[in-house]
Amino acid sequence: MARRTIDIPDLTGETWLVTGATSGVGLETARAASAHGARVILGVRDTARGGEVAAELPGEARVVAVDLASLDSVRRAAVELGDDDEVIDVLVNNAGAITPTRGETAEGFEMLLGVNLLGPFLLTNLLLPLVRRRVVIVGSNSHQGASFDFDDPHVRRGRWNPASAYARSKLGDMLWGLALDRRLRDGRATAGAPGVDVHLTHPGWAATNISNASGNVLIDRVVTGVCGVFAQPAAQAALTTMYAATRPLPACSYVGPDAMRHLRGMPTLIGRSAEAADPEVAERLWELAERETALTP
C-alpha cells in the first residue's frame, strides 16, 4: 500500500531547527522540511551522525551539538546560535527518551523529565528571541493516563516505572506548551517576531527505536515484530509534525493521527486530557520548570 501524504508548502527561505534529528520521526521531519526547501539546523547529541544526516539532505543544513540531559549543553547551543545571528522560522522540539531503569541527568533530574521536558523547555525559552513563526512540541497521547506529581516530580520517593515516567514527562510537554502559548498571546513571552505561535503533536505509534526500551532483548525483539505489523513508518508519523508546523491552526492545537485510537493515520486535530488543558496546572508546571532550569534569577 502506498504511503499517504499531505500537501506541504514551499519552505524556501525558511530555517527549521529540529532536535533529535538523527533517527526516527526527527530524521523524517528534517528530510521533509529539507525536501520542501527549508534550511535545516540539526540539534543533536551525536554530532558525527548529525553530520552524516546533513550531508544526505537535499538542501542546506548545519549541525549544532545539544544534549538535552545537560542544561549546560543546552545553554551552549543557544549561545552558539545566538552568536551566529541565526533566524529560526520553525523550532521543532522532537528529541525525547525512554529508559528501562531510572536515571538522572547531569543536574540530577529524573532522566525522562529532564530530557523530554526540562531540556526542551530551557532550549525553547533561550531561543525564543530568534524564532519568527512557530514552535512545535512533539508530545504523546500517553499523557492521557498521567497526572503530574508536583510534590515528587523526579520520583525520588515514589515508585518509578518507565511507562508512567514517560507519560508524566509528556503531560509536562502538553502543559508547558499551553503555558507558552498563553504567554506568547498575552505578551509575557518575548519572541523574535510578532505572531509566533505554538502547537503540539502526537506522532502515533511509530516504528522507531524508542519502542525498544525494555532492556530485555527478547521483549524488544517481540516489540519490534509487533511494530513492524501495526506501527506506521517514521515518515508517516512525521506528517503530524509537518502538519502542525505548516498549517494555519487554532491557538495551541494538538495534532495526531486520525485512526486506530490516534495510533496511526493521517494528521488531524485531536483532543487532550482535562489536566493537559488546565491553565492553572500549566502555570504550576511552568513555574516548576523555571525553577529547575534557573531560567529566571
Catalytic residue chosen out of the listed positions 166, 176, 254, 286: 166
CB burial of residue 43 (10 Å; 0-12, 13-18, 19+): buried
How far apart are alpha carbons 117 and 228 in whole angstroms? 29
How far apart are alpha carbons 279 and 297 in whole angstroms? 24
DSSP class per residue in 45-84: S-HHHHHHHHHHSSS-EEEEE--TT-HHHHHHHHHHHHHT
* Contact predicate 90/134, CB 8 Å: yes
Q: Is 228 helix (H, G, I), strand (E, B) or coil?
A: helix
Distances (CA, A) of 244 to 116, 171, 251: 19, 18, 11
Grid cell 521543532 — which residue?
Answer: 92
254-259 and 264-269 as β-strands: parallel, antiparallel, unpaired? antiparallel
How far apart are alpha carbons 173 and 180 in whole angstroms? 10
Note if 254 is an active site residue.
Answer: no
Query: How many CB atoms within 10 Å of residue 213?
Result: 17
For residue 194, the surrounding DSSP H or E stretch is none
Q: Is 269 helix (H, G, I), strand (E, B) or coil?
A: strand
Catalytic residues: 166
